[in-house]
Structure 1
Amino acid sequence: MLTPIALGALAVVLAGPLPSVLARWSRLRLTPAAAMLLWQSTAAAAVLAALGAGLSLATDRLWVPPVAVADLVVAALAGAVTLVVTGRLLLSGHLTGTALRRVRRSHRERVDLVARMEQGVSVLDSELPVAYCVPGMAGSRIVVSRSALDRLGPAELEAVLEHERSHLRARHDLVLEAFTVLHRAFPRWVASRAARAEVEVLVEVLADRAAVRHGDRRALLGALVTLAGTATPAGALGSAGSLAARVSVLRDERRHRAQAAAVVALAVAFLALPTVLVVLPWLSGLRTG
């Protein structure tokens, strides 16, 4: 009986309080790949714990005979809760994915109508300096305004374009979508917005790192300042978000191998804990049976 309670409590902690604590650990951004793994493992562990709590309660009541009527009722309720959690995840995934793809498809169509293609980039006649990408399975778009082209130098423009290409190559849109699905699937009193907000910062930091590997750090910093304050359309990934956090990370050129290793180990531990709690009771039951 202790295992379902432990898994339920773990699911609540992993979905709400823990993300709020991790979001305050700003040094995590200095190792963005490891940090992203940590956030993903935390989210996966929360789902596993939530589903495992219901399943373990049901099997705990039905595993060892004799099975009383009360055991059947508890097992049925636990199974129903598990189905509700699964249904909420599936429904949230469907609604979120459908809405995002509709918005992106509409935006791509509008861009194709009003923009000019120049060297594989959609150029908008706009006085605002903007640069963003619109992901899509049927064809992505990198959009840059004429004002941005006029204000950015060649090295700065290349850094911005590489930033957007990195978003598209790494499919950062799917990462953000997954965290949006999880946030909407869990009840409001459990789910934390901190995870989605921090992952938004991390995908930008990861794209910045990719741009720096192919270009000049100072050029990217200059481009970020030029593009600062401009909004990114819904469903798109832009170059102007989370400026303060990204500038702080870009200015740090040190390697943080020890932190990266520690964060990866923490990610493995977070995912291993609910896995062990789910699997061990079943293995124990098989041995005794």
Structure 2
Amino acid sequence: MLLWQGVALAAVLAALGAGLSVVTGPVGWPDLVALVLTALVLGRLLLSGHLVGTDLRALRRRHREQLDLLARADARAPGRTAVLEHDVPVAYCVPGRRVERVVVSAGTLDRLSPAEVSAVLQHERAHLRARHDLVLEAFSVLHHAFPRWVSSAAALSEVRLLVEVLADRAATRCSDRRALGQALLTLAEGRAGGPDFALGAAAVESSLLVRVRLLGDRGPHRLQAVVLVALAVGVLVLPTAFVVWPWLRTY
């Protein structure tokens, strides 16, 4: 996740800084073109951020209002968990800055064991604690800010998978791994990951096997972590240095 964030931030800094870096002397037509392109990139990012953020918050606010009308509490789902009367097993969370919801269906409570229910709730609460929605929102903004031939759907897809893996690992610190794995398989059978603007335990169905396999990986992988952190820093620092270098040489 850190590496993907480093790549994304480096791309934004490079796109904004490249145009500014050519302006090292008297401003000519090439410099004006570069500045216009830089302003266009910045404008697209700001507009995309406004549209994506506004739409997401409106959808989540409306959904929370509907949950307040339709959902109920259930002793099998401890904590502030909203339970919907639906036979299809589903579990998801609706993030928010002040008001948030963890949602499960009655079908989930009927088909999962108490240990599996607990693991699923821990997974959803991990999303809310870590504010994974903000990470996904940032990548969604970048994806919608640029044309298809520039933006990459692979980055957004990979980040969606990674936030689920991070929530899985957070859940296993308090719950049984096998219980979580079995719960994910049961939820996937229902083929309902929750609304698009929410974070559901089985939302990334195509990568479910990867997630279940990673649940059995308990190794610390310290060397891999060090290498990935180094790559993330390098990806961020090197392009920035190339952009700043012309300014340093001039001044």
Alpha-carbon displacement from aligned partner over 1:126-183 (angstroms, at most 9, x marks no partner): 0001110001123000001111111111111111001000000000001000000001
Alpha-carbon displacement from aligned partner over 1:200-232 (angstroms, at most 9, x marks no partner): 000000000000011111110111111112232
CA distance in 1, matches of 2:155, 2:128: 21
1:258 aligns with 2:219: no
CA distance in 1, matches of 2:203, 2:212: 11
Amino acid corresponding to residue 248 of structure 1 in structure 2? R
Structure-1-length-normalised TM-score:
0.81
Q: What's 1:100 paired with? A: 56
Q: Which protein has the larger Cα radius of gyration, Structure 1 or Structure 2?
A: 1
Amino acid corresponding to residue 281 of structure 1 in structure 2? P
Match for 1:165 among 117, 120, 125? 125
Alpha-carbon displacement from aligned partner over 1:23-73 (angstroms, at most 9, x marks no partner): xxxxxxxxxxxxx0000000000001111111112x23x2xxxx4xxx522
- Count residues in correspondence: 242
Unaligned runs of 5+ in 2: none
1:274 aligns with 2:234: no
CA distance in 2, matches of 1:190, 1:248: 33
Amino acid corresponding to residue 232 of structure 1 in structure 2? G
Match for 2:162 among 192, 202, 212? 202
1:1-289 aligned at under 5 Å gives the runs: 36-57=1-22, 59-60=23-24, 62=25, 67=26, 71-118=27-74, 119-228=79-188, 229-242=191-204, 243-286=208-251
Runs of 4+ in structure 1 over 3 Å off: none
Q: What's 1:18 paired with? A: none
Q: Counting helix residues as a fraction of each chain, which structure ranks higher?
A: 1
Question: Is this contact kept in 1: 2:19–2:38, CA < 8 A?
Answer: yes
Q: What is the aligned-residue identity percentage?
A: 60
Question: Is this contact kept in 2: 1:201–1:245, CA < 8 A?
Answer: no
Structure-2-length-normalised TM-score:
0.93
Unaligned runs of 5+ in 1: 1-35
CA distance in 2, matches of 1:177, 1:253: 29
